[in-house]
A and B are shown apart, each in its own frame.
Chain A
């Protein structure tokens, strides 16, 4: 598989946000609209005040023109985030389950739809805390890096992206070193074997010489 430079070097945040815009989100439209067929699927019909699920980019587009209210996803509600943070904070806790684009979605919602979020300041704070806790955990996790694998479950896109360059290079390096180490080891073993055989031969010959 071809690996693009993006995948080795990491994406920029706007690029990730662009990718995240295909995620679905629930909105309450403020305008009536019939169903629209798009390449990636249909959106609508909009019947205010009934909720509809649309791609995030549609939601943001509508929100910017004040044509919808965005319903905060469940994981982005204050109470839920608080619980998540509590769990995340526990010593030895694994990464909690969050959507893969959670940071990007949260960032976009906080930018464009802050008025639709209850306790948006609290959410912002919690997300910041959550991110810091997870960041330190990721760094901790990176120490476990060996030449074979590195497992960190429930890591989000942005977080993977963050460690990608470092991780990629160090992984390569480790592998090289490991290869080197193995090579030396076999060499050593071989040389040991050689030494041994010489010694045996010496012994044998020696004994013959003695006798």
Chain B
């Protein structure tokens, strides 16, 4: 059998190299004589990634221990350091973060071996002096010093249930300590059972190891054999011998206790089948070996040698030859699903059978495992599996979900932090910040600082209520106290006593009113849960579920009872956004939550609800921030860094949450470990405080805000097209929101019509860029779709030009037709009105027409005179805008110059409908738009052109222009076809009539360029 052992990875400088796998099997830590600790990814796919290097030590690293949340390493000068395995490994499927957490122990002699108890509370450290140190991991206090060994202690090992601690000394004595009692006692001494080694020689220091099921202790002993000691009677149950020819220095148990790997100074790694008591595999290395470890979740062995190299041996146990897998099936399920497909071939019946026959597993655990395996299979990559890395065995055992009780709902104020030292932010918005500074038992100091110093001056006051909540707006600041019962631990320090009544207080910033501050005392047992304020008033939601609304002056305006599940609320102008935990929220016994949320968007006076519904979050995350964008979009950010805005909140039942930025992805892309603490959002940017390293909250003094560009998470975000599309979508969201907001409040578009026009133009520019990209890659259908989205006619002309320029003549042709349908309804309406006016004037057919149309018709009279002037504009635009349009276009343009009747005659002729219209009388002809596409000719009778046939055969086009077909349907019955145009009166109101003429010009131009049938139109000129 070939052994798949990786090439040596030179992890460290030459010398003794320690090694330990993470409990998840995801990574392997090494420590070596270059005084570094490094963390390598273990799985095949990630193996070549760069290792995380930790530079805490200043001497040779001799020992390493890894538990679920800790890495502890000891070096030759006796320093033992701890590292925290980052939170991120629990929430993110990729990456391990290791942060130094401080010194665990400072010993005078080398730290030879380290063992962490299974509950992660204690760590035992063997040093070259004759004692074993037991240190509490909670506060790094030295708990016990175990004295008894004569000579250096070279290894320590907690039994898996942390009941016993086994230790071995250089004199060959193994001692067993009972760790259950407060004062550990030596319960067993096995003198001279192991071999005697020379103290101080790192290479010779052997280790004793417990089997993971806790029944057997393996000890390397004198004649190059391994003794297996039963825990029941401390008797030797078996001897594994016959393979090694030199001192055995390290042992490792597979996680299901079936296999034992041993490394020896004869340069061999031997794998023993413990049940069969024989060696099944061996590997000869070139150099002396140091340590060997099993991957707890895989058929993988790692070993290190004295050159500082690390090797990984994949697929160690030949499972296909009938050997059992070296790890638990359930664990493997989890492991292989979330990592690579390392073990997928190992789940054979043998493994299951072996596992079933195994004892030491009670019924409950089995159930838990099965449940777990089921879960893991069901939602394969779900974070649940990954959570295991950092979370712990207990949670994995039994995720028993229960519905959440209302009182457990944790509420928060957006922009508040826990106490950082003696300070905490109560509110942090774009207006400014409110900081509470702890002074003494009786009072705190509140500091309000504004960003815009020209509007308000910073101030501070002494706060005897110990406010724990604040909400800041441009016009005032609202404070409230929380009762101790409701406060989550972070705000305890600022809380009032439980029997004290809660207080709500408002400080107005308005200077004209002498006394704009007000304070209310809430009834006993009614405490504020969250508060919000805006220029339109203040809102307090209390523990009884009451939403109390006040005006800025302190008048009580409204009270309403909400479900008692409110998480947070925030206000802007006349809108109040309330986030509630939905009834679907469930909570596991282990404290894990699967949160679901609802939102209610209501007016600040409580008179109306704008929108309500569910508020989605990324699975397994919770809402950490809510707010309004500068423009008024309600927004929420979840703990996975996904920012969403509530779009179309102004339109009843159209509201929906649109993700606009994945900030977690952004920080990943930047390759930095930084957190973003949300502050505010604007149309283009997400404004945050960037938190470096481990801190999750903004520091003091107030940091400078960072701006992250809004980046809608569309597909293909790495391509130019994807980026443009995201930009376009962001811009569209913005314009739609601005319009919707203007419509809702009945005000004007912010900045007026000119601003709207500019914004729309910007938006169309993005579309044009996309059209250009689509044309360049010959995606004409896509270009067509994009053209459909164009809003302004001017931009549409540009699109046609782009198509022509990029030699997409068929696209240009279709765009022309689309252009007419898109803007035709308006044109036709124009035509109709003048139609009417003429009918009225000439033949007095007023009785045929509904009275309602008259104002509109009257409005068109004024416009009658305009075409000539408008045409001038059009011509200038045309020639200025694109000089390559050529002479034809200009000439065509001129054709519209002659006095009105003649021009109209000509334009009528252009349509090819002249003969027909002549037959029906001149009355209706003059104002008829000079469209070239037949279906929109109100009189419909014309020689069918080639382009028309194309159009008919094109199903997309027909579908896209339902409206035009509708109008085309009744050309012969004018009175009927006036009906649809009636509906379009509003749309037609502001549209200049030059559209039609320009269309003609452009069509002619496009067709000439394209070399197709432009003759019939061009000839007319």
Residues of A near any B CB (own CB < 8 A): 28, 30-32, 48-51, 66-67, 69, 71
Contacts and interface: CB of A to CB of B under 8 A. Distances in A.
A31 B452 contact: yes
Contacts of B518: none
A50 B454 contact: no
Contacts of A31: 452-454
A121 to B, nearest CB: 16
Contact of A49 (B454, B455, B705): B705
Contacts of A66: 453
Contacts of B430: 49
B454 A32 contact: yes
B451 interface: yes
Interface in B406-456: 430, 451-455
Contacts of A51: 704-705, 707
A144 B966 CA distance: 85
12 contacts: A28-B705, A31-B454, A32-B452, A32-B454, A48-B451, A48-B453, A49-B687, A50-B707, A51-B704, A51-B707, A67-B453, A71-B704
A49 B451 contact: yes
B688 to A, nearest CB: 12
B846 to A, nearest CB: 54
A30 B452 contact: yes
8 smallest CB-CB distances across A and B, nearest first, come from A49-B451, A48-B451, A31-B454, A48-B452, A30-B453, A32-B452, A49-B705, A71-B704
Contacts of B453: 30-31, 48, 66-67
A156 B707 CA distance: 31
Most chain B CB within 10 A, of A48, A51, A67, is at: A48
A30 B451 contact: yes
Given A30-B454, A48-B453, A66-B453, 14 more contacts: A28-B704, A32-B452, A32-B455, A48-B451, A48-B452, A49-B430, A49-B705, A50-B685, A50-B705, A50-B707, A51-B704, A51-B707, A67-B453, A71-B704
A45 to B, nearest CB: 12
Interface in B732-774: none
A211 to B, nearest CB: 83
Nearest to B433: A49
A30 B432 CA distance: 11
A48 B687 CA distance: 12
A71 B455 CA distance: 22
Interface in B442-494: 451-455
B452 A69 contact: no
Contacts of B454: 30-32
A154 B962 CA distance: 65
A126 to B, nearest CB: 19
A69 B455 contact: no
B294 to A, nearest CB: 40
Nearest to B430: A49
A120 to B, nearest CB: 13
A71 B706 CA distance: 11
B671 to A, nearest CB: 15
A71 B704 CA distance: 8
A49 B450 CA distance: 9
A191 to B, nearest CB: 66
Contacts of B704: 28, 51, 69, 71
A66 B458 CA distance: 13
A49 B454 CA distance: 12
A49 to B, nearest CB: 4
Most chain A CB within 10 A, of B430, B451, B705, is at: B451
A164 B283 CA distance: 69
A28 B454 CA distance: 14
Interface string B763-806: 00000000000000000000000000000000000000000000
Contacts of A30: 451-454
Interface string B699-715: 00000110100000000
A112 to B, nearest CB: 17
Nearest to A26: B704
Nearest to B706: A51
A50 B453 CA distance: 13
A67 B704 CA distance: 15
A56 to B, nearest CB: 17
B429 to A, nearest CB: 10
A69 B705 CA distance: 11
Contacts of A49: 430, 451-452, 687, 705
Contacts of A50: 685, 687, 705, 707
Nearest to A47: B452
Contacts of A28: 451, 704-705
Nearest to B429: A49
Most chain B CB within 10 A, of A31, A32, A49, A51, is at: A49
Contacts of A32: 452, 454-455
A70 B222 CA distance: 71
Nearest to B701: A115
A149 B134 CA distance: 69
Interface string B343-374: 00000000000000000000000000000000
Nearest to A70: B704
A51 B454 CA distance: 16
Contacts of B707: 50-51
Interface string B808-849: 000000000000000000000000000000000000000000
A66 B457 CA distance: 13
Contacts of B685: 50
Interface in B300-340: none
A30 B453 CA distance: 5
A13 to B, nearest CB: 29
A67 B453 CA distance: 8
A48 B430 CA distance: 8
Contacts of A48: 451-453
Contacts of B687: 49-50
A53 to B, nearest CB: 12
A32 B451 CA distance: 9
